[in-house]
Structure 1
Amino acid sequence: MNNKRKPLEERRAEIVEAGLSVAMREGVESVTVRRVAQEAGISLGTVHYCFDDKDAMLRAMGRSIAMRASEPVLSALDAGPDRKALAGATVDALLVGLKQHQHMRLLTFEFAVSGARTPVLREVAQAHLKQSIAMTREYLQRLADVVGVKFRTEIGTLARMTALRIDGIELAWMVDQDDEAAREGFADLAVAVFGQMEP
């Protein structure tokens, strides 16, 4: 067992990675504190020291997935204030991010389904949904700031609608692996979102 002392955040990150490895290989419902400790090569006590319980560990895993998914899209804002360039960069980033992190995105959907079925995981699934909407809201706010406009629709409502449409496009791509259809879906979504900007 690798119980050498490490900074708490570094150890937590290791545990999250171990949990994601187990989940991707064996499914979300296989993620237990014992299984993750084995995967990380650490003691059960170390996992309990870093996370109060399994739910806290699962929430951290959900945050990690959401952060990775949002990074390419946030970087698309570097395209500058031109709306057409921003829309194109965002569509590209959504597709690239989906393809690069497809196993992580699949886990997102597994969290949602498991949360709908299992009361124990429902709180984790709800927390992950809130994170996804919050990150979409952050993108939309930063997008409005870059372009120098406001949205006609309340930003919280727009963020929820946008996040749920992204999920639908991504889930369809998981099934059919059709890049062009996904790109068209993201492009249609970009038209809808940019159409909400004040003139």
Structure 2
Amino acid sequence: MVRLTGSTDHVCVRGAFVARISAAERREQFLEAAVTVIARDGVDGATTRKIADEARSPLATLHYCFQTKENLLFALYEQLFSEIRVEAPTALATGASAAQPVEDLMTETMRWVVDHPVRARATIEITLWAERNDPGMAGRLYALFLEAWSELLLRAGIPLPAEAVETFVRLLIAMADGLTLQMIAEQDAERTMRDTATACRVLKAYLEGSSSKAA
């Protein structure tokens, strides 16, 4: 049951009084609650009722903020994606090796996964749910990484022609996804970071080989 109290500062949610907050703050609460519920129960099990209860907020307010569960999922994925975006240095400007931006991108992405395993699990759960239930949404989720990472590496000056960057980034994403699943399954942070270092060496060798062919 949700009802307004006599105060303009609180509402009663399932028998508990909850302070009124701004719509932006409430939206953030719902997103954080969704991370917890999705990581625990999967997307199918993460009903809007469960998410609202986790946020200690009226269900009607959740639907006001996001309208649909799909909108909430996409907003959550966008937020998690924004947390792991890495501003790799521009190799030409910093004097770093051409592979340094790639190493930074892979290493910092996997460091985020290791440091935030619940949030990483939520990204995987949303991706798999979208692939099964909403292929269009799945494509939009993948495009967030593909477009942003391609732009970042092009700006960083990696030694690949523009038409080859997308293929390279797809390989990078595949490695990051695989390492993320490994971390979720094994819960071994040290091993994940060691394997990430190996992945970086593989990517570096690919770039060096491509540079030699171009020369």
Q: TM-score, normalised by structure 2?
A: 0.71
Mapping 1:76-87, distance limit 5 Å: 76-77=88-89, 80-82=94-96, 83-87=98-102
Report SS of the residue matched to 2:20. coil
Shift of 1:128: 4.8
Closer, same or farther: CA 26–49 of 1 in aligned 2, 3 Å: same
Mapping 1:1-199, distance limit 5 Å: 1=13, 2=18, 4-6=20-22, 8-70=23-85, 74-77=86-89, 80-82=94-96, 83-117=98-132, 122-123=133-134, 126-147=136-157, 151-176=161-186, 177=188, 178-179=191-192, 180-192=194-206
Residues in 2 aligned to 1:107 and 1:68: alpha-carbon distance in whole angstroms: 13
Report SS of the residue matched to 1:60. helix
Residues in 1 aligned to 2:206 and 2:95: alpha-carbon distance in whole angstroms: 18
2:8 maps to: none
**Larger displacement relative to structure 2 (91-100 or 11-20):** 91-100
Residues in 1 aligned to 2:158 and 2:167: alpha-carbon distance in whole angstroms: 20
Unaligned runs of 5+ in 1: none
Residues in 1 aligned to 2:119 and 2:141: alpha-carbon distance in whole angstroms: 15
**In the TM superposition, what whole-angstrom CA distance separates every residue of 1:70-121 from its partner, at most 9, and x where no partner exists?**
2xxx23337735225434433431331221122222222223333444xxxx
**Larger displacement relative to structure 2 (82-91 or 28-37):** 82-91
Report SS of the residue matched to 1:77. coil
Q: TM-score, normalised by structure 1?
A: 0.76
The number of aligned residues is: 190
Question: Please, what is the CA RMSD of the aligned residues?
Answer: 3.0
**Larger displacement relative to structure 2 (105-114 or 43-52):** 105-114
Residues in 2 aligned to 1:38 and 1:32: alpha-carbon distance in whole angstroms: 10
Q: Which structure features the higher share of strand residues? A: 2
Letter in 2 for 1:77: P
Report SS of the residue matched to 2:87. helix
Shift of 1:17: 0.8
Residues in 2 aligned to 1:190 and 1:127: alpha-carbon distance in whole angstroms: 32
Letter in 2 for 1:187: R
Letter in 1 for 2:56: G
Shift of 1:43: 1.0
Report SS of the residue matched to 1:75. coil
Which of the two has higher C-alpha Rg?
2
